[in-house]
Amino acid sequence: MTTDLQTDPLTAVVARATELYEDVELQSVRDWKARGEGRKAIGFLPIYVPREVIHAAGALPVGIMGGGDQLEIVRGDSYFQSYICHLPRSVIEMAVSGRLDALDGFLFPSICDVIRNLSGMFQMLKGQKYVHYLDLPQNFDPELGGRFYRHELRTVADAIGRITGTAVNDERLRRSIRTYNVNRAAIRELLALRIEQPWLVPTTEYYVMLRAGYLLPPDEHTSLLHEYLEHARSSNRRPLDNIRVLVRGAFCEQPPLALLRTIERAGCYVVDDDFVLGSRFIPDAIDETGDPWEALSQAFLKHSLPTASKYDEANNAADLLVQRVRDVRADGVLLMAPSFCDPALLDQPMLAGALDKADIPFTSFKYSEDTGQFQVIREQAGTFADAIKLWGKA
Ligand code: SF4
């Protein structure tokens, strides 16, 4: 059959990434494991885990981002009270329905109480597998938080090394840092292209390209990004009369793809965001030459992005947001947060206050990963875009 996919390489690369985005059965992970004897995969929850350590132990790091709007929750609801976000329900649904069976272990980074409780549930549900609550430092002094984190990194490396049979030594870890540095560089290219020519990188395409990195081995993801960049740059897409917006608050439970499409169709080019934040939580290259444990620790302490689940007194998240708006030349900000997400919603008044003070237009709304009705958001985002176009302010 001759299809557009065979004739249009850009469509083909986006279709490949979309297929991965829709892979809630983790079939791609099963296929990867089947291609080599004894292969292991380790799942991780949002936002950030040091994937280099998993990779250095020879395992595939796999991001668990919930079921989005593709999964009917049958049993997940019975594990939780009503008034919490949606992500843990769909993660439990994936676990009890066998969708996560391809994973040989699970890391739960310390981002909020919901994730902490979820790790406890996994210890009961998946006790025969490796389940670890990864305590990320909240103290940014290298002698305190740094020492603690290096110890935590080695604990994780030892545990995963026992699963794979491959001990993580300094050289292996340096090589993995190098592999992810190449991937980071490709992601930076994607971000830069979108800032400069957002009409070449529609938000839904950008999003599935990032998400692909949560299932593919890093070098395959890097190749996919390079392919996408090449075809996106040479496409004949033309700019629309859209405003430029920056999105904050979507760092954990992810918005459905249709919501991202709605925002763009309402007249907004998203030029910066915190979607799939773990894929670029440390945006720049990590040192590949010295002590790799120290390098990973320093990168987290000194060079990771601001987010609501990290309290870094020395780097005020509100000031950094205002600076970022200016750096990416955004006309306004969408504060969009998952319903009942305490970290995102508790941060919002501080961010809104800083935007107000800096005279930067913003609007806010809530979503959940399975939101199906977008009319209200379309009208809100459309009005926001129109107001900025007409008067320069929302
Ligand atoms: S969406 Fe918010 S509250 Fe829910 S697990 Fe993520 S950070 Fe926690």
**Ligand 1: does its nearest atom lie under 6 Å from the Cβ of 115?**
yes
User: Buried (b) or exposed (e) across 193-221, using 16+ Cβ within 10 A?
Assistant: bbbeebebbbbbbbbbbbbbbbbbebeeb
Q: Which of 48, 80, 85, 116 should be mutated for ligand 1, with most atoms under 8 A from CB?
A: 85
**Ligand 1: does its nearest atom lie under 6 Å from the Cβ of 66?**
no
For the entire predicted model, the pTM comes to 0.96
- Ordered by where they begin, the domains of the chain are 22-168 (3.40.50.11890)
**Ligand 1: does its nearest atom lie under 6 Å from the Cβ of 343?**
yes
Along the 394 residues of the chain, how does pLDDT read in single tens digits? 444 445 699 999 999 999 999 999 999 999 999 999 999 999 999 999 999 999 999 999 999 999 999 998 888 888 888 889 999 999 999 999 999 999 999 999 999 999 999 999 999 998 899 999 999 999 999 999 999 999 999 999 999 999 999 999 999 999 999 999 999 999 999 999 999 999 999 999 999 999 999 999 999 999 999 999 999 999 999 999 999 999 999 999 999 999 999 999 999 999 999 999 999 999 999 999 999 999 999 999 999 999 998 888 888 899 999 999 999 999 999 999 999 999 999 999 999 999 999 999 999 999 999 988 899 999 999 999 999 999 876 6
**Ligand 1: does its nearest atom lie under 6 Å from the Cβ of 110?**
no
**Ligand 1: does its nearest atom lie under 6 Å from the Cβ of 47?**
no
139 C-alpha vs ligand 1 centroid, how far in Å?
21
How many CA atoms, within 13 angstroms, populate the side-chain half-sphere of residue 271? 24
Q: Which of 44, 114, 133, 345 should be mutated for ligand 1, with most atoms under 8 A from CB?
A: 114
Beta bridge pairs of residue 294? none
The burial of 97, by beta-carbon neighbours within 10 Å (0-12 exposed, 13-18 middle, 19 or more buried), is given as middle
